[in-house]
Amino acid sequence: MIKKTININMTRPLDLKHEKRNLGPLRIQRPLYVDLLPTCNNACPAGENIQAWLAHAQAGRFKEAWQVLTEDNPMPSIHGRVCYHPCESACNRSSLDSPVSIHAVERFLGDLALQEDWQFTVTSPPSGKRVLVVGAGPSGLSAAYHLCRMGHSAEIYDAGPLAGGMMHFAIPSYRLPRKILDSEIKRIEDMGVKILRNHRVDDLIAEKEAGKFDAIFIAVGAHISKRTDIPYRDAGQILDAISFLKDVETGNPPKLGRRIAIYGGGNTAMDAARVAKRLGYEPLIIYRRDREHMPAHDSEASEVLEEDVKIHWLRTIKNIDETTFTVEVMEVDEKGRPRPTGVFETLEADALIMALGQDVDTSFMNKVPGLDFKEDGVVTVDEHMMTGYPGLFAGGDMVPSDRTVTIAVGHGKKAARNIDAWLCRINYVKPPKHNLATFEKLHVWYYTDATQRPQGHLEMKKRVSSFEEVVSGLSQEEASYEAKRCLSCGNCYECDGCYGACPEDAVIKLGLGNRYRYDYELCTGCAVCFEQCPCHAIEMIPEPTTENQDS
């Protein structure tokens, strides 16, 4: 077990990095307690206060951890499964052994909340304002949740029979079990968010007037698959990946031949191949770039290869003659772009699934004046996520951005804050960021090896023949262990390092949860506390002049 208590060994030489030291009775610098921005928090697209909820989790306060987490993200059980966790790529602990498995702890908290039936509470008084949200995907659900917590009435209109958007129709159940997805959506509904399913919006202005809405947030997912022209003669069945995944999700999988080619290198292509494998087909992926330049996350490619799916890198389809695919061998130039080599090969497949990306349908916005659209169909928004039409906001797949569930949820939160400000006739001003607590600022002299606890995986034979969840969660003991691996970068966690190291007894403890303060009458500015602090929660600043010296 990892303990977050630091035992000060005064016989151990300190890591003295600070250049300026006091050489006489006059203090030239003084220590100051600070709060820096953890690198994990900074990297989270949903804006979670990761370090704060990890601190609760490591102390065993799991409900408090879930409450802090859901102040920013209402669907931790979902995100613990489908987020690509850029927070872990930024985790400072990776410079020591391996990053904290943040997504796994988040999943544990989310699953525990569902198990214990923890519910959201709304404490804000009703504002009397009504907001229409178009699209029940991650961005729409997030926006409605945050608006509801602010006291506004939020209603979601969705064209599909199931809420969840692309989480339902593009993420297979072996990655995101439907019980988990539906339960987290139901909790949002239970707090007061209304979701009207099977309701397609064709005229935004008419819907706004009919429902007497004060603002609108557009969060329609990218459901339209991109196409490319491939000459073919008597080819087998050709369909797009989104339609294929939707048909499987709704219990109507298409009947295809034995060998299925999937054309594309994104996450959807990987999912389509893995779904085809589970349906008993022999899938093969054709992609025009190499693995280094593929848009899919590398972990997705790893899982595909683990399941014995063949990937034909650096290949592009030139024509199809019945079941014979002529492909040209490509090479990647110095900018990562594929270019033809004039070398051709043939592959055999009975059907083709196109997975070349998705576009959004914005036809229902044609009657709205003042909107500006990009070449790929997404709508332009300002820094407040508002379009050119006053009171009409957009996020998720509808705006220029990378398309992930976590980014969409972050858009929903940001839009909700700006919609709230717009309804109150003010501008939302995002608080300034603290300085970043990078690894170079930490003093990890106390560090002991504590490698990441891996998550279990379903046995391979069962994995490729069913839609059971592949990755398992952490136990309570494992989740606590992972949370305790957090280095608390940039923020004091009351380890008593400064208190025990100060030779002048200038550090005063203020009681549990209240940290410390300095008695500057005793402090000599020697910087021992600064050097002893493992997480860089202390800065050494120049001694103030007489005019502005602290009392």
| Residues 20-37 pLDDT 10s | 444 445 889 999 999 999
Write phi, then psi, for 99 (nearest 5 degrees).
-65, 160
Indicate whether 51 pLDDT > 70: yes
Residue 2 — very low, low, confident or very high, per pLDDT cuts 50/70/90? very low
**CATH 1.10.1060.10 occupies which residues in the chain?**
37-118+459-484
pLDDT at 376: 75
Task: Determine the average pLDDT of the residues in 526-546.
Answer: 91
Model pLDDT for residues 452-498, shown as the tens digit of each residue: 999 999 999 999 999 999 999 999 999 999 999 999 999 999 999 99
Query: What 8-state DSSP symbol labels residue 199?
Result: -
pLDDT at 481: 96
| CB burial of residue 448 (10 Å; 0-12, 13-18, 19+) | exposed
Whole-number average pLDDT of the chain: 91
Indicate whether 99 pLDDT > 60: yes
**CATH 3.50.50.60 occupies which residues in the chain?**
130-223+360-423, 226-357
pLDDT at 10: 31
Indicate whether 551 pLDDT > 50: no
Residue 109 — very low, low, confident or very high, per pLDDT cuts 50/70/90? very high
Strands 392-394 and 215-218: parallel
Angle subtended by helix axes 50-58 and 102-116, to nearest 10: 70
**CATH 3.30.70.20 occupies which residues in the chain?**
1-35+492-551
Cα separation values, 231 from 241, 320, 328, Å: 19, 6, 14
H/E element holding 72? Answer: none
Give the CATH number of domain 37-118+459-484: 1.10.1060.10
Task: Determine the average pLDDT of the residues in 257-262.
Answer: 95
Higher confidence at residue 374 or residue 51? 51
Task: Determine the average pLDDT of the residues in 522-550.
Answer: 86
Task: Determine the average pLDDT of the residues in 153-173.
Answer: 94
CATH superfamily to which 130-223+360-423 belongs: FAD/NAD(P)-binding domain (3.50.50.60)
C-alpha to C-alpha distance for 478 and 149, rounded to whole angstroms: 32
Indicate whether 546 pLDDT > 60: no
C-alpha to C-alpha distance for 495 and 4, rounded to whole angstroms: 7
pLDDT at 25: 58
Place of tokens 């069913």: 466
Nearest to 453 by CA among 175, 115, 5, 97: 97
Nearest to 53 by CA among 518, 547, 457, 479: 479
Q: For residue 225, what are the contacts with CB-CB under 8 A and spacing of at least 6? A: 240, 241, 242, 243, 354, 355, 356, 357, 358, 359
Task: Determine the average pLDDT of the residues in 59-84.
Answer: 97
Domain range 1-35+492-551, CATH architecture? 2-Layer Sandwich (3.30)
Domain range 226-357, CATH architecture? 3-Layer(bba) Sandwich (3.50)
pLDDT at 537: 96
Task: Determine the average pLDDT of the residues in 203-231.
Answer: 90
H/E element holding 220? Answer: none
Cβ density class 77-113: b for 16+ within 10 Å, e for less: bbbbbbbbbbbbebbbbeebebbbbbbbbbbbbbbbb
User: Would you call 240 helix, strand, or coil by DSSP?
Assistant: strand
Indicate whether 14 pLDDT > 80: no
Task: Determine the average pLDDT of the residues in 75-85.
Answer: 97
